[in-house]
Amino acid sequence: MAQDFLFEYFCRPIIDSSVRGYNAVNTLAYAAILFIIVYFFIYPFLKKRDVHVNYRFMLALLPYIFFGSSFRVLNDMGFFRKTCNFLDLQFFTFTPGIWLLTAGLAIMGILAAKRLAKGEDEFYKLFGIFGAILAIPFLMFEVTQFRAVDGFILIAIMVIAITLGVKVAVSRLRPGFFSDKLNSFILAGQVLDGGATFVATSVYRCGEQHQLSASILGTNPALFIVVKVAIALLLIYFIDRDIKDKNYSGFIKLAAIILGLAPGARDMLTVAVGTCL
């Protein structure tokens, strides 16, 4: 009975392309696991090592996010197969395994940078360099495989235009709303996720794996971007209002950035390499 339940709600969505990848059960389970890992392991790990989660840390972390997104796209391109067996290394080439792998590599990068760096400035540089070494080979390979450059450019233009437009409009109504540079990253990440999904599903032939997102796209594809912008603005508002600890506030913002930027970058690359054609 338990084995059938696990197969139906967790394994089948992975290996059977005729089934939507996410359902209410596995979505809640993945969210709970993510919360436990992030809150009880990653945040204490960073705090213990006196890592300041700020704009500079976010910049250094970007290559790791791009590594995870680009490595995930290799699975979409057929270089790896999907499996439910977490003992199989190919399990770590798609969600959720790819993000466990990416988190592990980022932690290793932090430990190495902390050991080698002589100060905070050097720590950020080394941490970012280690991530770039991981990400650049995969990004360069996928650039050589681009088949839908117009789709890539369209997403980039949408993200830049919408992000800047929203920032200007909101800043006029609430000056200082984006005074923390991480707030701009939250907005840009959610817009990237929304814009890439919009283009992938409306202009090209990719499907949406999440039930809630699919229902919003089914109502009106443009509404999905509006929802993403609203989520970003609400997150920024409540985090800045309710969390006074700057490092903890930065950590929550970092999580919000990753949740938008990582899937958005993956979808953007997926469109570009032609798996949606």
- The full length of the chain comes to 277
Residue 58 counted as domain residue: no
Q: Which two tokens stand for residue 153?
A: 């450019």
DSSP states along 222-272: HHHHHHHHHHHHHHHHHHHHH---HHHHHHHHHHHHHHHHHHHHHHHHHHH
pLDDT of residue 276: 85
pLDDT of residue 63: 97
Residue 220 counted as domain residue: yes
Q: What is the pTM of this model?
A: 0.93
| Burial (CB count within 10 angstroms: exposed 0-12, middle 13-18, buried 19+), residue 88 | middle
Residue 268 counted as domain residue: yes
pLDDT of residue 1: 67
Which mean pLDDT values do the consecutive 10-residue runs of the chain (277 residues) have?
79 78 82 87 92 95 97 93 88 89 96 94 97 97 96 96 97 95 97 94 81 73 91 97 94 95 95 89
pLDDT of residue 98: 92
Strands of the chain, DSSP E: none
Give the separation between CA 196 and CA 202, rounded to whole angstroms.
10
Q: Which domain holds residue 157?
A: 146-277
Host H or E run for residue 141: helix 120-144
Q: How many domains does the chain have?
A: 1
Reading phi first (left if > 0) and then psi (alpha if -120 to 50, else beta), residue 50 is in: left
